[in-house]
Chains A and B, each alone.
With several copies, the nearest count.
Chain A
Amino acid sequence: MGRPRRLTIPGRYNKIRRACAFVVAGAKKAGLDQKAIDDVELACDEACSNVIEHAYEGEGRGPIEVSWQVQDQSFVITVRDRGRPFNPDGVATPHIDPDDLKIGGLGLHFMRQVMDQVSFSFNENHGNTLVMVKRIA
């Protein structure tokens, strides 16, 4: 248990690194092992990148709020933005055709693979909220 720690960054790709460092520092404090810390870093990066690319549809359109807390033996990351509503249910798992080599959908796939739970919600007052949970081994 612990109260959430919060960091707000501008919605720019070169600021995401800061959000990742903030979450990684939290994961270290929470006692995650190195592999889990790497996972949490990747998930945070992919989440923030998607917010800029898909929710805001570009850089400099709004802030991203990242927070972490320890809850019930889990490390919980929350990512909030004020961009367009997103429901990921329709997003297919990624498919890479070696001949075609179109690539897409990796970001969500990574988040789902490396975290134990990933859930999106939209609320008119708070915008999009993404919650990602990593169990502490």
Chain B
Amino acid sequence: MEISVQSFKRVELLSVSGRIDSGTAPQLEESLRQLTDNGRHRIVAELSGVSYMSSAGLRALVGALRECKKHGGEVVIATPSERVADVLKLAGLDAVFQVFGDTVSAVGSF
């Protein structure tokens, strides 16, 4: 799993690629927590490069979503890979997260 973070004026763009499973999800959680600890509660998770995601990845994302919402922010998902979209749907989370087909719209949604 690779994570890169680009900070914009009001929005953080967190791009993840590779495998998000119970072995790697803690790093994702840590990256998200660093953002929210710094008062950054508007986050775009760009997931086009994610080859695999299990419930551990979803837990990390939902945890961050909860934290952001508490502070009037949001975690939105941009360009989910097919695998990510499948798992979101399987979990019923496609109705909980705002999902955008392109990153510009996701950043623009804030």
B residues less than 8 Å from A38 (CB atoms): 83, 86
Quick check: is A137 within 8 A (CB to CB) of the other chain?
Answer: no
Which residue of chain B lies nearest to A45 when distances are taken between CB atoms in the complex? Answer: B54
- Among all A-B residue pairs, the 3 with the closest Cβ atoms: A106-B55, A14-B23, A101-B66
Q: Tell me the complex Cα distance, A96–B93, Å.
A: 8
Quick check: is B69 within 8 A (CB to CB) of the other chain?
Answer: yes
Given the contacts A45-B54, A49-B54, A96-B91, A16 and B23 also touching, CB distance less than 8 Å: yes
Quick check: is B85 within 8 A (CB to CB) of the other chain?
Answer: no
Cross-chain contact B62 with A17 (CB below 8 angstroms): no
Closest Cβ–Cβ distance, residue B15 to chain A (whole Å):
21
Pairs A–B under 8 Å by Cβ, sample size 21: A12-B23, A13-B21, A15-B23, A16-B21, A17-B19, A45-B21, A46-B55, A49-B55, A52-B22, A53-B22, A94-B91, A96-B91, A101-B66, A102-B66, A103-B63, A106-B55, A106-B59, A107-B55, A109-B90, A110-B54, A110-B87
The interface of chain B, by Cβ under 8 A from chain A, is 19, 21-23, 52, 54-56, 58-59, 62-63, 65-66, 69, 83, 86-87, 90-93, 95-96
Chain A: interface secondary structure?
helix
Q: Tell me the complex Cα distance, A52–B25, Å.
A: 15
A residues less than 8 Å from B56 (CB atoms): 49
A residues less than 8 Å from B63 (CB atoms): 103
Given the contacts A16-B22, A52-B22, A41 and B52 also touching, CB distance less than 8 Å: yes
Cross-chain contact B65 with A101 (CB below 8 angstroms): yes
Cross-chain contact A103 with B59 (CB below 8 angstroms): yes
Cross-chain contact A17 with B23 (CB below 8 angstroms): yes
Cross-chain contact A17 with B21 (CB below 8 angstroms): yes
Quick check: is A98 within 8 A (CB to CB) of the other chain?
Answer: yes
Given the contacts A96-B91, A98-B96, A46 and B54 also touching, CB distance less than 8 Å: yes
Q: Tell me the complex Cα distance, A52–B91, Å.
A: 21
Q: Tell me the complex Cα distance, A101–B52, Å.
A: 23
Cross-chain contact A106 with B58 (CB below 8 angstroms): yes
Quick check: is A55 within 8 A (CB to CB) of the other chain?
Answer: no
Q: Tell me the complex Cα distance, A53–B59, Å.
A: 14
